[in-house]
Amino acid sequence: NAKGVIVNQCIEEFGSGLNYNRKKWNRLLEEVMENKIKTIVISNKDRFVRFGYDWFERFCEKFNTKIIVVNNETFSPSEELVQDIVSILDVFTYRLYGLRKYKKQIREDEDIAKELQNGN
C-alpha cells in the first residue's frame, strides 16, 4: 500500500518450495502463460521457489509478468548453501515420516517377498 500497489488476489499455499506439483502453483503458471497476471508480489524468493528462481523470473518476463520480492535478503554463498542443504533435508525427512503411515503395508510386503524367496 505504501508504494501504491493494489493487490487483486492473494494466493497462499503451504508446502515446500521444492515441490513444483502444487495445485495453486500450477494454476499460477497457467495464468502467467495466459497473460492474465501482470505482477506477482512474493514475500521471499526461497518460499516461492527454492531452486530455479532465476529461471522462473525469466519465464515470467517472457509473458510480460513482473515479480516483486518484498523481503529481498541477500546471503553469502556459504549461508545460501547451508539453507539449501537444510531445505533438502527437510523435504526428505518429511517423506521418510510420511512412509510411517505405510509401515504395516511395507512390513506385510516384506513378509510376502520373504515367503516368495523361501518358496522358490
Tens-digit pLDDT profile for residues 45-83: 776 776 778 888 999 999 999 998 887 666 677 877 777
- Are 91 and 68 contained in the same domain? no
pLDDT of residue 62: 96
Q: How does pLDDT run across 39-53, given as a tens digit for each residue?
A: 888 877 776 776 778
Please tell me the total count of domains within the chain.
2
Do residue 40 and residue 23 come from a single domain?
yes
Q: Please, is 16 exposed, middle or buried when counting C-beta atoms within 10 Å of its C-beta (0-12, 13-18, 19+)?
A: middle
- 18: containing domain: 1-73
Instruction: State which of 58, 73, 88 marks the end of a domain.
Output: 73
Residues 52 and 5 in one domain: yes
Q: Residues 82, 25: one domain?
A: no
Cα–Cα distance, 17 to 51 (Å, whole number) = 8
* One domain, residues 81 and 116: yes
63 & 13 share domain: yes
CATH number at residue 48: 3.40.50.1390
* Burial classification of residue 32, based on how many CB atoms lie within 10 Å of its CB (0-12 exposed, 13-18 middle, 19 or more buried): buried
One domain, residues 61 and 81: no
pLDDT value at position 32? 94
> Is there a single domain that holds both residue 51 and residue 107?
no
- The Cα-based distances of 16 to 19, 67, 89 in angstroms read 5, 19, 12
Question: Using an 8 Å Cβ cutoff, are 44 and 71 in contact?
Answer: yes
